Amino acid sequence: MSSSFCLTPQTYHVLTDGVRRDPEEFWLKEGHRRLVWSREPTRAMDQEKGWFADGTLNASANCLDRHLPEHGEKTAIIWQGEEADHVIRLTYRELHARVCAFANVLRDCGVKRGDRVAIHLPCVIEGIIAMQACARIGAMHVVLFGGFSAEAIADRVADSGAVVVVTANVGRRGAKRIPYKTTMDAALRLLGDKSTVRHVLVVGVTEDEVPLEAGRDALLEPLLRAASMDCAPEAMNATDPLFLLYTSGSTGKPKGIVHGTGGYLTWASFTHQLVFDHQPSDIFWCTADIGWITGHSYVAYGPLANGATILLFEGMPSHPTPGRWWEVIAKHGVTTFYTSPTAIRALMSEGDEIPGRYDLSSLRVLGSVGEPINHEAWTWFHEVIGGGRCPVVDTWWQTETGGAMISLVPGAVEARPASATLPLPGVNPVLLDEKGQPLEGAAEGILCIDGSWPGCALTIWNDDALFQTTYFKPYPGHYFTGDGARRDEDGYFWITGRVDDVINVSGHRIGSAEIEDAISEIHDISESAAVGIPHDLKGQGLIVYIVPHEGLDKAVTAGLKDQVVRIIGTKVGRYAVPEKVFVVPDLPKTRSGKNVRRLMRKIACGETEGFGDLSTLANPAIVPELIRIVGEG
């Protein structure tokens, strides 16, 4: 193994051993060492009160102010637009000034400690600035994925009770304009009088003009220019929420996952350092949208807390030329590149000669996240992009875990293609059988985590009971991840995918209930079921079965598929539109009336036999019927 990495197997062993022997001492030391506190915590974990509970700190001061004395002139952000010469660089000092100004604008809008601020932006620097500005004044940000529909935005804004919204006039995609402000207007119209939003701040990404509602909407730029660049950070309790972020689960309603301040930031910093072997000269590029947790922990918080230089890229992987991403890596000397298996597979399909045209020798570490990576994609990433010399860190984690949990650690852990390898220090994964019994040694089962770790979410916004039932009730005494995994005789993990009703399309979590709830709005449909099936590029593809009401006329039935696609687009977003919709007379059910998704999944995959004992079904005759309909396409 190369000795150019910070850790060696020996030094890593000291770490893992230290945390095993005395987690309290280990994490207290990490917390002190990694972060600056306005009041140092005296304890790491308190079962009742949470992580670093008696400490106070500010996340933005940790990401910005602390770097100013020695590294104020270091580049914090390199932003690359779609056009080659459209580049913005901000030093830590400049970023700090902009964040302070933004924080003052938020204060002028009446935003107080504990308030929520929704952020719906394309990949512009203001996204990070807005997040940091919220953190600075102790407001929680609620970043909304760019691909959400107006209804999806409205649901989340309403649930969070956001008082201010930050959006853009438009987003850019080539010559196309994405109507951010118009979508936000539509979302707020849907909320009507019930809206808690008092102000809408609009980032002028382009010169395009958009209507502004007097008294509510304002262009951000003039406000920033007028704002003071002094803004003292609020001292927050370590267990105060830093942000909430919506994610999909088995229940229909998206859940607002709440992360705390001290524990989350310690975890983001610790994992960013270990997993990516962070070194001061690195140029770190994580391609995730800030609307997802990966964009929070490995764009906005982890790297900045560690004083890294991050790259943000507004464009697409293969536009205007295939190989655009590789061109960006070569141009900016990116050392660390973190992306998704879906992106890797798409780029791989363009052929090896495309990356071969670019000098990728700056790369040191490659990372993958969001879905299981297949052997072929892992190997291609390693060989063709990493030239066989860069470790590929396959990082398994979730919105709820705050940061990476199972991952290769460069220099310290031996890789195995397509394996997330070993748990990080302080993470105790267990595999359980269906009955919740722990499995020992080499085994395949349900992945749970024992004990706590600093990055663990605090709760679900407005619904702590749901937090407890979702994560701690299925297998009492363990945190239930919703994933299945295999462990080999050396303790290496291979994640096999979700075991609950969450479908992972291109790394985006989609709850089957979310899709079914949207479809339930169509009066002519009595029932539906959404399932995920393997998809070569996207990892999983979404398949929907719908059962029309009896006696509908043919023309109406024929129009149902289009209606389904439309309603999912409006209620959830275009990213959740299914691959295929099958119109069927009934769904396979147990005698107690539960849909048998396992069967629907198999049939959607084109399987025609090997379904096991069907006699427990209430309606076994539907099975050949479904096989026929799916077979006809």
CB 89 within 8 A of CB 309: no
Which residues inside 65-124 make contact with ligand WTA, applying CB under 6 A? none
Looking at the Cβ atoms of 139 and 377, the one nearer to ligand WTA is 377
**Residue from 64, 55, 56, 52 nearest 300 by CA:** 64
Which residues inside 508-537 make contact with ligand WTA, applying CB under 6 A? 509
Interface with ligand WTA includes 162 (CB under 6 A)? Answer: no
Here the contacts of 186-194 (C-beta below 8 Å, separation 24 or greater) are 186/150, 187/150, 187/151, 187/153, 187/154, 187/157, 188/154, 188/157, 190/150, 190/151, 190/154, 191/154, 191/157, 191/158, 194/158
Q: Which stretch binds ligand WTA (CB under 6 A): 64-72, 438-446, 460-468, 480-488?
A: 480-488
In eight-state DSSP terms, residue 306 is T
CB count, 10 Å around CB of 4?
A: 11
Which listed residue (370, 402, 411, 548) binds ligand WTA by CB under 6 A?
Answer: 370
Looking at the Cβ atoms of 181 and 382, the one nearer to ligand WTA is 382
Q: How far is the CB of 400 from ligand WTA (least distance, A)?
A: 7
Looking at the Cβ atoms of 199 and 478, the one nearer to ligand WTA is 478
Q: How far is the CB of 120 from ligand WTA (least distance, A)?
A: 18
Q: How far is the CB of 377 from ligand WTA (least distance, A)?
A: 12
Which residues inside 226-255 make contact with ligand WTA, applying CB under 6 A? 247
Cα separation, 110 vs 125, whole angstroms = 23
**Residue from 510, 487, 482, 509 nearest 497 by CA:** 482
Q: How far is the CB of 341 from ligand WTA (least distance, A)?
A: 8
**Residue from 382, 414, 549 nearest 491 by CA:** 414
Write the CA distances from 177 to 204, 324, 462, 486, integer angstroms.
13, 20, 35, 44
Q: How far is the CB of 506 from ligand WTA (least distance, A)?
A: 11
In eight-state DSSP terms, residue 233 is P
Which listed residue (145, 270, 284, 397) binds ligand WTA by CB under 6 A?
Answer: 397
Which listed residue (167, 395, 452, 563) binds ligand WTA by CB under 6 A?
Answer: 395
Give the count of alpha carbons within 13 A of 59, CB side only. Answer: 37
Q: How far is the CB of 497 from ligand WTA (least distance, A)?
A: 6
Q: Which stretch binds ligand WTA (CB under 6 A): 194-202, 377-385, 394-402, 603-611?
A: 394-402
Q: Which stretch binds ligand WTA (CB under 6 A): 344-352, 370-378, 430-438, 452-460?
A: 370-378
Interface with ligand WTA includes 483 (CB under 6 A)? Answer: yes
CB count, 10 Å around CB of 585?
A: 13
Which listed residue (332, 345, 498, 602) binds ligand WTA by CB under 6 A?
Answer: 498
Which listed residue (41, 372, 391, 455) binds ligand WTA by CB under 6 A?
Answer: 372
Looking at the Cβ atoms of 371 and 516, the one nearer to ligand WTA is 371
Looking at the Cβ atoms of 58 and 395, the one nearer to ligand WTA is 395
Q: Which stretch binds ligand WTA (CB under 6 A): 233-241, 395-403, 457-465, 555-563?
A: 395-403
Q: How far is the CB of 253 from ligand WTA (least distance, A)?
A: 16
In 109-256, alpha helices (H): 125-137, 150-160, 180-191, 220-226
Interface with ligand WTA includes 268 (CB under 6 A)? Answer: no
CB 114 within 8 A of CB 138: yes
Looking at the Cβ atoms of 31 and 539, the one nearer to ligand WTA is 539
Torsion of CA 179, 181, 182, 185, to 10 degrees: 160
Q: How far is the CB of 509 from ligand WTA (least distance, A)?
A: 5
CB count, 10 Å around CB of 366?
A: 23
Cα separation, 163 vs 442, whole angstroms = 51
Interface with ligand WTA includes 420 (CB under 6 A)? Answer: yes
Which residues inside 275-294 make contact with ligand WTA, applying CB under 6 A? 292-294
CB 338 within 8 A of CB 276: yes
The β-bridge partners of 300 are none
CB count, 10 Å around CB of 139?
A: 26
Write the CA distances from 495 to 22, 373, 394, integer angstroms.
29, 9, 10
Total interface residues for ligand WTA by CB under 6 A = 22
Interface with ligand WTA includes 456 (CB under 6 A)? Answer: no
Q: How far is the CB of 539 from ligand WTA (least distance, A)?
A: 9
Output the six-digit token pair for 432. Answer: 């359980």
Phi, psi dihedrals of residue 243, rounded to the nearest 5°: -160, 165
CB 552 within 8 A of CB 583: no
CA 31 to the chain's CA centroid: 24
Q: How far is the CB of 371 from ligand WTA (least distance, A)?
A: 5
Looking at the Cβ atoms of 56 and 504, the one nearer to ligand WTA is 504
Q: How far is the CB of 220 from ligand WTA (least distance, A)?
A: 28
Output the six-digit token pair for 158. Answer: 């309403």
Q: Which stretch binds ligand WTA (CB under 6 A): 8-16, 26-34, 319-327, 397-405?
A: 397-405
Give the count of alpha carbons within 13 A of 540, CB side only. Answer: 27
Interface with ligand WTA includes 394 (CB under 6 A)? Answer: yes
Q: First-to-last CA distance in the chain?
A: 50
Q: How far is the CB of 156 from ligand WTA (least distance, A)?
A: 15
Which listed residue (169, 237, 306, 398) binds ligand WTA by CB under 6 A?
Answer: 398
Q: Which stretch binds ligand WTA (CB under 6 A): 9-17, 262-270, 478-486, 614-622?
A: 478-486
Interface with ligand WTA includes 424 (CB under 6 A)? Answer: no
Residues in contact with ligand WTA by CB under 6 A are 247, 292-294, 369-372, 394-399, 420, 481-483, 495, 498, 504, 509
